[in-house]
Amino acid sequence: MANKPIVDFEAIKNNLSNVSKPIQVLNENAEITDQEIFDTFSDDDLVEFMKKMVWERALHEQTMNFSRQGRMGFYAPTEGEEASEMGTVLAMKKQDYLLPAYRDVPQLIQHGATVTEAYLWSRGHVVGNKFKARSMMPQIIIGAAYVEAAGVGLGIKKNKEEDTIAFTYTGDGGTSQGDSYEGMNFAGAYQAPVLFIVQNNGFAISTPRVKQTAAPTLAQKAVAAGIPSVQVDGMDILACYAVAKAARDYMVAGNGPVMIETLTYRFGAHSSAGDDPKRYRTKEQEQPWFEKDPLIRLRKVLEDKGLWSEEQEDKLVDEYKASFKEAIKEADNVAPDKVSDMLKRTFEIPTPEMKQEIDKFEAKESK
């Protein structure tokens, strides 16, 4: 009898790590690693990318200040993820349907919501859900936006909407949720035009990526659903934009869904609720990522071209933060949501029991 096993499982397992390097156009030293793709961007494009990242960084800083003042509800910090978020959303078109998660408020605003609406959403106010952007409100349930996106993508296909896709986000932890696979599997089976974006920032709150899954990459998880996938340097806005645009072009041509894993990093806490990253991350782990700051690398390129200056950036930050202060004032002036109104919105026709509750709260609110 032969000693050779019919299957070499160890070889198969080892082969899982044979994956391509993440796609990159500009490395952490601001060196161009793909000249051909870099040359597709004009100077105006590069400046606009920088403005958008500065805008998101300023939004994060000012919103965290509002949160510390007790003027916000739930808020998920985004510092460090500007290239991943701005790069992907800017590659989309306004007719595309966004299915955001809770860390994707900057993308929601860029897609058409106002900052005031975003702040009201954070507070749980119904007006925060009435934005004009073609989007659902940010999903709080981890991974659930993938299921929503699959349904929206199928609707786009059945309605024969041209030049339109659905795009959605989750974090690395989201790929450990059943909803994420179910959404991808559904979209793959029906060849729905859905772009699944995984923002791999290294931690699912405090659980490090290496303890979440044995998969060498999160992009590989799409293979089981028959979906082409790729890793991209999530600290490089040029790469994020170029890959997201290529994915969109591929999907609107009728080729089904795509998954992109962006390798990025959350510089601060998971949320404004107060988790302490120092309890699960060391300075030695963090420092290499701080050195990959997406603003630093693009800033250097622009400064070398004579297209950017510290004074220019400081002026923009001041303007952006002033606009956010106006937005929070607008949110403060919106009348608080009433309990009776929330009950009225629960069912189109209130049940007899709920009608009693509505009457009871209306009586209290009229005093």
Q: Catalytic residues, which ones?
A: 266, 270, 280
Neighbours of 268 (CB within 10 A): 15
Q: Report the Cα–Cα distance between both ends of the chain, in Å, rounded.
A: 90
The pair of three-digit structure tokens given for residue 263, joined into one six-digit string? 């390798």
The pair of three-digit structure tokens given for residue 350, joined into one six-digit string? 């209130």
CA distance 146 to 150: 6
Give the rounded distance of the alpha carbon of 235 from its chain centre. 13
Q: Give CA angle at 288 (283, 289), nearest 5°.
A: 95
CA distance 363 to 367: 7
CA distance 132 to 331: 17
Question: Do 165 and 206 meet the contact criterion of CB atoms below 8 Å apart?
Answer: no
Give the rounded distance of the alpha carbon of 342 from its chain centre. 28
Residue type (1 letter), 52: K
The pair of three-digit structure tokens given for residue 147, joined into one six-digit string? 């299921």
Question: Do 180 and 174 meet the contact criterion of CB atoms below 8 Å apart?
Answer: yes
Question: Do 48 and 228 meet the contact criterion of CB atoms below 8 Å apart?
Answer: no
Q: Which secondary structure element, helix H or strand E, spans residue 12, and what is its range?
A: helix 9-15
CA distance 107 to 121: 14
The pair of three-digit structure tokens given for residue 314, joined into one six-digit string? 């400081």
Question: Do 249 and 258 meet the contact criterion of CB atoms below 8 Å apart?
Answer: no
CA distance 258 to 280: 32
Q: Give CA angle at 122 (59, 66), nearest 5°.
A: 50
